Structure 1
């Protein structure tokens, strides 16, 4: 958007998004939530706990913990998987970064990012020790989730295309909404919290493949937590940060989709479009992985049978996950070619151990990786892929997959997530503790306080 349209975008719209979204964020009451939305919120929480526990000993988490311990502070909030407490803002930062460290957490394409990792660490930090019930937690959880998607609609697609990591930027608003709902802010104060969050919202896609990408989730959680707490204490900011001249939309995007952001959510709630990960890599690699898995299994393809591989995928993925020659496990998660090679070689793309420097530098896998040619398409869904494999005998086989379609059966999805949770949490907690934590999540709405759930996350 340019010229007159950009100027018009800075004017106050008929329905101001900041005030409206602030009001909407306060309107989620447990008794009014459909049963499947409550179930989805608990599934998101379970998945978040699984990926956070699995990252308890990740090097980036160790760095942040060491820094927090040196800094000190009142130990109010639990570090997941470590059995110790730090200050609330520190816990939001560290748990947020940990939950995104493996890049194994959930996704929402309307937000163009990872929703749950941005506000759950903030919610837990704010709720601990305050007798917050499971029902109140779920209300705030849904508030954060829906706000993330609505702010995402407001500024996409150019926000992400410009190089901003929506998990970091939009996530700050989600965390502010969730914590503001928990604090029972009024609408005007919630809008102020959005203003405080908006001026902190930052995060660049250029750092993908480094520790800074998972850090973004922690920064969003901390910014939103502090924004809500500071607003409640009387800290001032603008109450129109999303739409004002030189505000969030004007500086971060060429788009301003107020009607979409404020209108009805697809299927009634944005959380119904949540996408869970079953491969421990960037979500935009998942469709190619699924294509190749189908072909390998259906046609009994062996790596030595492959002459060439052609991957058709949206052009925007080139800016996100097209590291040509990854040298580390983190970089491997953002390599379309290498993850495609993994799937073709039968490497378990769900296992975190697969994304290692050894695999990234394996000559056999590198040769297979270099047989992948990417044919970028303009205007495709980010989650759609087509793969054609040419075989040494002259045959070719093809597959197509769209990873952007949510699971239609919530109960079946729950079974898959329990299996994922057990695979990730049991090695950290042991079977008995992992099952006890699972049981608490599954009956979250019956808890008088979430403190027992947090206590159950310690090793």
Structure 2
């Protein structure tokens, strides 16, 4: 029975109780399908992100440290300790900023939860069905805590992927380890006291590190709790606890409310532009303007982008690297106007090309209150005096989940097949389809890791 009051008393335990009650056989088919798509998307991003500078540095450091061979580094035959694998794989999966999002946080849940859970599942020889149930439990918990603490948490400068992701990862791992309710509450507390990550780091290597840190914190917290490590069991709601220390908003009724469709996971949004999500509405608006009016770039005198003040996270004015370009509305506008493919990873590295720089100089960005991360209004002002305007919003997931799966699969093949071949990439997709098939849900993760080796 729910005993949580509006002031949050008993909230940590209630959220843990709900999470531990998630069972694979009870999950609707659409939820299992989206969970499968999250893993496909995560694997593609992690595989392609291995060679990014941040990934290489963290990986090299972990290999220098040494450790028990417990869990695989994605795309290689190498194994390291469980928490080390979570750190390396988590960092790699967020290095391209191409991974999925959920706006209730707002942030990236999969890159925090999946690397923690995969490392632990491999080490404990868990099945795909156990993985899926634990993933859903952790994902839903992270989103419920997002509903609890937002908007103050994010507005105060915390990167929810790092902070709330740590808590979701801890709950997911607690579920997989079959911890008791009390042990899982302690895991949440241990994660809560470690959770950290600043939005000020966007556009630097520290942002993808946030995902790796969250994954490592989550799996480590659950493993320690299993061994008897304790914390406050009411870490979320207690005085000077996680919620009030991070922003003053405590919306217990929002955290406990049922989301549309019954699961926050169904509102997961997959990215099909390889950049910060807050650039996507601007890209889509410019694409629509190009399709409708077909202006040549040299006809355009000025591009006016109006977006919400939360989009300050992607307003680097003069990017000089691909990583900075991913957090620049001006660069995103230039690429879109020049009809450059923003789903390609190498497009963002072309930000210093003359044509891009010349177009970028014609972009003006205005950030206004009242608009969110997923909205943009773009106006094109042409040299002949004509002007065209388009508004775009990308804040809703695809309604057609079958088509969403097909698009995620195509994205995976584009990211992974150049590295391991098309046939092996297809085989991985076939294995992961077992997630939505009860008859095959006891399949092991071992073959998946073997197929992922470069």
What is the TM-score normalised by the length of structure 2?
0.96
Superposed counterparts of 1:21-420, under 5 Å:
21-318=15-312, 320-356=313-349, 359-420=350-411
Cα offset, 1:360, TM superposition: 2.3
Deviant stretches of 4+, over 3 Å: 11-15
Structure-2 separation of matches of 1:381 and 1:101: 24
Structure-2 separation of matches of 1:249 and 1:373: 37
Cα offset, 1:197, TM superposition: 0.2
Structure-1 separation of matches of 2:136 and 2:90: 18
Cα offset, 1:369, TM superposition: 1.4
Q: Which runs of 5+ in 2 are unaligned?
A: none
Q: Provide the secondary structure at the position in 2 that maps to 1:376.
A: strand
Indicate if the aligned counterparts of 2:6 and 2:253 stay in contact, CA closer than 8 A.
no
Q: Which moved further from structure 2: 406-415 or 381-390?
A: 381-390
Counterpart for residue 437 of structure 1: 428
Structure-2 separation of matches of 1:302 and 1:243: 56
Cα offset, 1:309, TM superposition: 1.3
Cα offset, 1:364, TM superposition: 2.5
Indicate if the aligned counterparts of 2:6 and 2:252 stay in contact, CA closer than 8 A.
no
* Cα RMSD for the two superposed structures: 1.3
Structure-2 separation of matches of 1:373 and 1:211: 27
Indicate if the aligned counterparts of 1:129 and 1:451 stay in contact, CA closer than 8 A.
no
Structure-2 separation of matches of 1:82 and 1:435: 18
Indicate if the aligned counterparts of 1:80 and 1:95 stay in contact, CA closer than 8 A.
yes
What is the TM-score normalised by the length of structure 1?
0.95
Structure-2 separation of matches of 1:65 and 1:317: 31
Q: Provide the secondary structure at the position in 1 that maps to 2:314.
A: coil
Structure-2 separation of matches of 1:243 and 1:14: 6
Structure-2 separation of matches of 1:192 and 1:186: 10
Listed one character per residue, the Cα deviations across residues 228-259 of structure 1 (whole Å, up to 9, x for unaligned) are 00001100100111111111111111211111
Counterpart for residue 416 of structure 2: 425
Structure-2 separation of matches of 1:32 and 1:430: 36
| Pair 14,225 (structure 1): closer, same or farther in 2 beyond 3 Å | closer
Residue 18 in 1 paired to residue 12 in 2?
yes
Indicate if the aligned counterparts of 1:12 and 1:244 stay in contact, CA closer than 8 A.
no
Indicate if the aligned counterparts of 1:198 and 1:241 stay in contact, CA closer than 8 A.
yes
Q: Which moved further from structure 2: 328-337 or 292-301?
A: 292-301
The number of residue pairs the alignment matches comes to 446
| Pair 422,14 (structure 1): closer, same or farther in 2 beyond 3 Å | closer
Q: Provide the secondary structure at the position in 2 that maps to 1:202.
A: coil
Q: Which moved further from structure 2: 65-74 or 127-136?
A: 127-136
Structure-2 separation of matches of 1:82 and 1:402: 39
Listed one character per residue, the Cα deviations across residues 289-330 of structure 1 (whole Å, up to 9, x for unaligned) are 000011112211211010111111111112x11001011111
Indicate if the aligned counterparts of 1:83 and 1:457 stay in contact, CA closer than 8 A.
no
Structure-2 separation of matches of 1:434 and 1:243: 45
Structure-2 separation of matches of 1:217 and 1:197: 14
Cα offset, 1:167, TM superposition: 0.3
Structure-2 separation of matches of 1:192 and 1:205: 27
Structure-1 separation of matches of 2:233 and 2:333: 46
Q: Which runs of 5+ in 1 are unaligned?
A: 1-10
Indicate if the aligned counterparts of 1:12 and 1:243 stay in contact, CA closer than 8 A.
no
Residue 455 in 1 paired to residue 442 in 2?
no
Q: Which moved further from structure 2: 110-119 or 448-457?
A: 448-457
